[in-house]
Amino acid sequence: MPEIVIILNNFLSVVFSQTTCILNFYLLFSIFYSKRIAWKSELSLIYTRFAFDMFYTFFVPHNKIYYIIRQIFPGFVVKNLSFYLIWPTIPLGCIRATLVFLITLDRVIALFFPISYHNHRFKISLSAIIISVSCFGASDHLILFGYCRYTVDVPLECDNFNCVIKTCFYSYWVSRDQIQYILTGTFSVILLFRLVIWNNFVASQRNQNLSRATRIALLESIVIICFSIIPSLIFSTFPSLNFVSVGPWTIVLKHAGFMIEALIICKFLLKRKSKNGIGRNSTVLTWSQ
């Protein structure tokens, strides 16, 4: 791949991820400090995803900037630095994907079993969920250094994720991502079926806060499908497209999706706050609310 292309996709990843980080910080600032967005306990799991997304996208640009510098100044190579720059993003990315799945599952249960959800959901504390998903993300350390017996010894010429973490953990990482994508995609289809088809035939009163959380969950699922799953499927379907020519661009698309999602959520939640301020309430499931 020409050097200019490597620089371009790394630069775009930096721009997209930093923009996402700033947007998520702004969302959290608006919720917890400036109060421009009203706190809703029903959305606490989504707020948690904002926080982990902010930390994840904060660390993403570090290795990208390092790779850009290496392309401009080939002699600037620090032994094993690429591993230490990449590693924080792996468990954080796992935690983010797990939270998206749990948010989607939460919405499915809330819509299909509203009475049971209302009676029992509060028994599962947010702290327990955060600790559980954090432990799951931290288990990457056990897989890498325990099961895969990884030793930090990155070749000086290595300039991509695959060669940094070696084949064993890379295979596990790909498999884990695929499972998370499949689960999230499956429950997203179920959620979409409930909202689009069921609501057309069964008249029911929808809770405003519940529908807001559901719409955000659907948005997260759509972003994953369009910007992560579909590019990965294309990559798998056409094995002649190798990692060097396609892999970096799939990462760029993923971070572009995160940025678009954060932009839509910012606009959506701030618009809701504005409308609530003049006393408008509605339960119609549209994105304009």
**283 within a domain of the structure (yes/no):** no
**117 within a domain of the structure (yes/no):** yes
pLDDT at residue 210 is higher than 50 = no
CATH number of the domain within which 238 lies? 1.20.1070.10
Q: How confident is the model at residue 272 (pLDDT cuts 50, 70, 90)?
A: low
Residue 41's pLDDT is 85
Nearest to 22 by CA among 60, 64, 67, 63: 60
Q: How confident is the model at residue 234 (pLDDT cuts 50, 70, 90)?
A: confident
pLDDT at residue 227 is higher than 90 = no
**287 within a domain of the structure (yes/no):** no
**289 within a domain of the structure (yes/no):** no
Which of 145-159, 165-179, 227-241 has the lowest average pLDDT?
227-241
Number of domains in the chain: 1
Residue 249's pLDDT is 77
**286 within a domain of the structure (yes/no):** no
How crowded is residue 281: how many other Cβ atoms within 10 Å of its Cβ?
A: 8
Task: Read off the pLDDT of residues 19-34 as tens digits, 9 standing for 90 and up.
Answer: 999 999 999 999 999 9
To the question of pTM greater than 0.95 for the whole model, the response is: no
pLDDT at residue 209 is higher than 50 = no
How crowded is residue 248: how many other Cβ atoms within 10 Å of its Cβ?
A: 23
Of residues 287 and 199, more confidence is placed in 199
Q: Which residue range forms the structural domain that includes residue 86?
A: 3-276
**209 within a domain of the structure (yes/no):** yes
Task: Read off the pLDDT of residues 60-105 as tens digits, 9 standing for 90 and up.
Answer: 999 899 989 988 888 888 999 999 999 999 999 999 999 999 999 9
- Burial class from Cβ neighbours inside 10 Å (0-12, 13-18, 19+) for residue 63 reads buried
Q: Name the H helices within 122-198.
A: 126-141, 161-192
**284 within a domain of the structure (yes/no):** no
Angle of the 89-112 helix axis to the 208-224 helix axis, nearest 10: 130
**With DSSP H G I counted as helix, E B as strand and the rest as coil, what are the percentages for the chain, rounded to 5?**
80, 0, 20
How would you classify residue 103: left for phi > 0, otherwise alpha for psi between -120 and 50, otherwise beta?
alpha
Residue 286's pLDDT is 33
**282 within a domain of the structure (yes/no):** no
Classify residue 207 by its DSSP letter.
P
Task: Read off the pLDDT of residues 110-147 as tens digits, 9 standing for 90 and up.
Answer: 888 889 888 888 888 999 999 999 999 999 999 999 99
Task: Read off the pLDDT of residues 243-262 as tens digits, 9 standing for 90 and up.
Answer: 555 556 788 889 999 999 99
